[in-house]
Each structure stands twice: as structure tokens, then as C-alpha cells.
């Protein structure tokens, strides 16, 4: 048994601990499985983001404020001052998340100073700026691991190279990420792909609809919020296919329905995980038009629910999706090709079923249990 401490910033800008998705969700899956495999696992989040100078505080019911409204809290700086004061007098406390059945404890700490972190065998940092803290830790805190969850902050630069040169074992979630880290000068990088929770995402009775339903995730309240996700491309591709097949339906889900989402779209706002499984399961095609990606979870989840994937070759999807076999893929930004692949599946029922079932069989290899075994082997054998 090893003592594993995970350092994770809990705010919206650092992984979205308050909402499903992002770095937090993957880390929570790994944490649960490492605990189940007999390790002692603790998660630490900081109320103080040293990098952005922002304060984030959560209790068991969510973010704490003064109840004056966001405008006045921001204007007066009361929320920030209260969080700093509260952190200074509490030191540490345990908190909870309400959207994930997390087994290890989450400890709230004022910052990532060494005095707040217990001794251990392994310490895992998720966000790059946390490395600036733990690089100064003593050996008693354990082997230092950087579990890189995104590569978008990594333009080649002297600062990037300095961080990549820290004596930490580096782990990424896709082959694409490994290439990007290598491009920036990172060495000795291991790949552990994200998994999929097969107990959460499944479809015991797959039914293909006569009028095909195409599913897509909406990231952000407007297209500009996450333009690299290609949501606008996906809608355009759908509308090209719809002109040829007016009967098809577009189903989307996301945190909030923005003005740019078409009125004809069936939209599910901030759905639960069970509802997301239901959406995947009752759709025929999952459209993932991203232009830039590290290692997204939705295509895996859709495949686990036997939804045929039409996507792009951007990012980590090519680690498990083979075009023409387990998905239909095209180049990022190629709207016409996306539309053509949609039309192929709409018009060819046998191909649709083939892609759907082959994708399901492939993604079963990537359970969180299997991926945790790979992660465990790497971190325990790290220098």
C-alpha cells in the first residue's frame, strides 16, 4: 500500500471541481480506483490560486459568498476577503462534491505550502502552476508526478522549458499530448489514456431510430467560449445533412443554452450523469467536431452507450477510434466531410450498426479499472 496525495485546484478555471467534467472528473475516477486497489489516497485543493490570484472556497453546499449578488461581491471584494480570512483561521477541513461519488477525502487548505501536505510515497500535481510549489518539497512528501491534463498552455518558451525540466515523472492522457509535450522539450513522458465508467455509461437495449437522432455536446454559453470545440462546425455539418434528410433530429446538452443554439434543437440543460447516459443511449450518432483536443471524455461515453461516433482526428480520439472501423473521422474544420460522414450513417443502416457495435467493443478495453492499473504501475516505478 502506498500513501498517495493528489493536489488539485478546485475552481472553475482549474478543472471545474464544482461541475462534472474536466480534469477533476478523471482524477476522481483514478482516486476511487487507487483506493479500491488498497492505496491510501487523499486529495488537497487550495482556496488560493497562486497563479491567477483568485480565491475559491467551497463548503458541502457549494461556493460560499455573502449573498449580496455577484456584482456587489465582486465590486466590494468581500467574497475574496472572506475566503482569505476563513482559510487563515481554519487551516484545513474536509469538503465534498455533490456530482460524483468520491471515496477518498478532499482536504481544503489555504495554499500548497509544504506544511499543509502530509508525508507520503507519491505526490501528484494536476495543474502546472502547482509544480512551482511542490518543486520545493522535501523527499518526505514522496515521488513527484505531474499528471498533465491539458497541453494548451504549452507554447515553446523559456518558462515552459523550465517547468518541463523539473525532476518530475510526466504522465499524459493521449498520444497527441505526448507529442505536444515533446515538441516543447518535455522528456520521459508516459501515456495513460482516460477511461470510461462502464457502470455509469451503458446501453443494455440498443434501439436504432427510424428518424435518426444526432447528439452533440455544447461547450460554453456561446461558440466563442470554446471555439476550439467546433460546435459551430457541428451545427453547420448537421444542417447540410438535414437538407438532404429533413427528418433527422439534433439533440444537444450542456451547462446552459446559449442564443446561438438553433431553435429546432432538442436541448437538455445541465443534465445529470444518468440523464446524459439516457441521451447517448436514445441517439444514433454522436457528433464530435472538435478542432483542438487533449483527451475528451464524451466520445468514449457515447461509444459505451453504443452511439456511433462521427468526429475529427483532433487530439486523443485517434488512440481508440479507427476511421471506418470504430468511428468515422475527418480532418478538423472540414465541415463538408463531417456532413458526408453523417449522411453515410443516416443512409446506411448496416454501416451505422457496425460502427456503433465496433466502437462499443473497442471502448470496453478502456475501463477506469484497466487504466488505473497502468497508472499505478507507472507511478510506483517512477524515479
289 has a pLDDT exceeding 80: yes
330-381 pLDDT tens trace: 999 999 999 999 999 999 999 999 999 999 999 999 999 999 999 999 998 9
Q: Are 3-195+368-380 and 213-365 the same fold in CATH?
A: yes
- 105 CB-contact burial (10 Å; exposed 0-12 / middle 13-18 / buried 19+): middle
Nearest partner of 79 among 66, 69, 60, judged by Cα: 66
- CA 189-193-195 angle, 5° bins: 155
* 122 backbone dihedrals φ, ψ, rounded to 5°: -140, 135
State the Cα–Cα distance between residues 36 and 72, nearest whole angstrom. Answer: 45
State the Cα–Cα distance between residues 78 and 242, nearest whole angstrom. Answer: 51
Identify the band that residue 63 occupies on the pLDDT scale cut at 50, 70 and 90: very low
- What is the reported pLDDT for 276? 96
Longest dimension (CA), the chain: 65
Write a three-state SS string for 161-201: HHHHCCCCEEEECCHHHHHHHHHCCCCCEEECCCCECCCCC
At the fourth CATH level, which superfamily is domain 213-365? Glycogen Phosphorylase B; (3.40.50.2000)
HSE-CB at 247 with a 13 A cutoff on CA atoms is 6
245-281 pLDDT tens trace: 999 999 999 988 988 899 999 999 999 989 999 999 9
The highest-confidence range among 95-109, 216-230, 306-320, by mean pLDDT, is 306-320
Q: What is the mean pLDDT of residues 138-144?
A: 96
State the Cα–Cα distance between residues 254 and 236, nearest whole angstrom. Answer: 18
- What is the reported pLDDT for 91? 53
Identify the band that residue 73 occupies on the pLDDT scale cut at 50, 70 and 90: very low
User: What's this model's pTM, rounded to 2 decimal places?
Assistant: 0.84
Identify the band that residue 293 occupies on the pLDDT scale cut at 50, 70 and 90: confident
Q: What is the residue-averaged pLDDT of the chain?
A: 85
* 348 backbone dihedrals φ, ψ, rounded to 5°: -120, 95
State the Cα–Cα distance between residues 341 and 299, nearest whole angstrom. Answer: 16
Each domain of the chain, given as residue ranges in start order, spans 3-195+368-380, 213-365
15 has a pLDDT exceeding 50: no
Secondary structure E strands in the chain:
3-7, 40-46, 48-49, 54-55, 58-59, 62-63, 93-95, 105-109, 122-125, 143-148, 169-172, 189-191, 213-217, 249-254, 266-269, 285-288, 308-312, 328-330
Higher-pLDDT residue of 277 and 19 is: 277
Looking at domain 3-195+368-380, its CATH class is alpha beta
- Kindly give, in sequence order, each residue whose CB lies less than 8 Å from that of residue 365, ignoring residues fewer than 6 positions away: 320
81 has a pLDDT exceeding 60: no
Q: What is the mean pLDDT of residues 40-64?
A: 55
State the Cα–Cα distance between residues 173 and 260, nearest whole angstrom. Answer: 31
Amino acid at each position: 500500500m502506498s500513501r498517495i496525495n493528489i493536489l488539485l485546484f478546485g475552481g472553475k478555471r482549474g478543472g471545474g471541481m464544482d461541475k462534472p467534467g474536466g480534469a477533476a472528473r478523471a482524477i476522481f475516477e483514478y482516486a476511487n480506483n487507487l483506493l479500491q486497489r488498497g492505496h491510501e489516497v487523499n486529495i488537497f485543493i487550495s482556496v488560493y490560486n497562486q497563479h491567477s490570484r483568485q480565491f475559491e472556497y467551497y463548503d458541502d453546499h457549494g461556493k460560499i459568498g455573502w449573498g449580496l449578488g455577484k456584482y456587489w461581491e465582486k465590486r466590494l471584494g468581500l467574497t475574496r476577503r472572506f475566503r482569505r480570512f476563513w482559510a487563515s483561521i481554519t487551516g484545513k477541513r474536509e469538503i465534498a462534491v455533490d456530482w460524483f461519488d468520491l471515496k477518498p477525502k478532499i482536504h481544503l487548505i489555504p495554499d500548497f505550502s509544504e506544511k499543509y501536505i502530509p508525508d507520503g510515497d507519491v505526490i501528484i500535481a494536476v495543474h502546472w502552476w502547482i509544480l512551482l510549489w511542490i518543486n520545493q518539497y522535501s523527499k518526505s512528501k514522496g515521488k513527484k508526478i505531474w499528471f498533465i491534463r491539458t497541453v494548451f498552455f504549452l507554447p515553446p518558451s523559456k518558462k515552459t522549458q523550465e517547468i518541463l525540466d523539473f525532476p518530475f515523472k510526466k504522465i499524459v492522457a493521449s498520444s497527441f499530448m505526448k507529442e505536444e509535450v515533446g515538441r516543447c522539450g518535455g522528456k520521459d513522458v508516459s501515456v495513460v489514456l482516460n477511461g470510461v465508467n462502464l457502470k455509469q455509461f451503458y446501453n443494455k437495449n440498443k434501439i436504432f431510430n427510424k428518424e435518426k437522432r444526432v447528439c452533440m455536446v455544447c461547450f460554453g454559453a456561446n461558440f466563442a467560449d470554446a471555439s476550439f470545440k467546433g460546435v459551430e462546425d457541428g451545427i453547420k455539418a448537421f444542417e447540410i445533412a438535414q437538407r438532404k434528410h429533413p427528418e433527422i433530429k439534433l439533440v444537444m446538452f450542456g451547462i446552459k443554452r446559449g442564443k446561438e443554439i438553433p431553435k429546432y434543437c432538442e436541448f437538455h440543460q445541465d443534465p445529470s450523469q444518468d440523464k446524459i447516459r439516457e441521451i447517448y443511449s436514445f441517439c444514433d450518432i454522436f457528433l464530435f467536431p472538435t478542432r483542438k483536443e487533449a483527451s475528451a471524455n464524451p466520445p468514449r461515453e457515447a461509444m459505451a452507450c453504443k452511439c456511433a461516433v462521427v468526429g475529427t482526428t483532433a487530439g486523443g480520439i485517434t488512440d481508440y477510434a479507427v476511421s471506418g472501423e470504430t468511428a468515422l473521422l475527418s480532418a478538423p474544420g472540414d465541415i463538408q466531410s463531417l456532413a458526408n460522414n453523417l449522411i453515410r450513417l443516416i443512409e446506411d443502416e448496416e454501416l451505422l450498426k457496425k460502427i456503433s457495435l465496433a466502437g462499443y467493443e473497442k471502448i470496453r478495453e478502456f475501463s477506469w479499472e484497466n487504466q488505473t492499473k497502468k497508472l499505478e504501475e507507472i507511478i510506483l516505478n517512477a524515479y
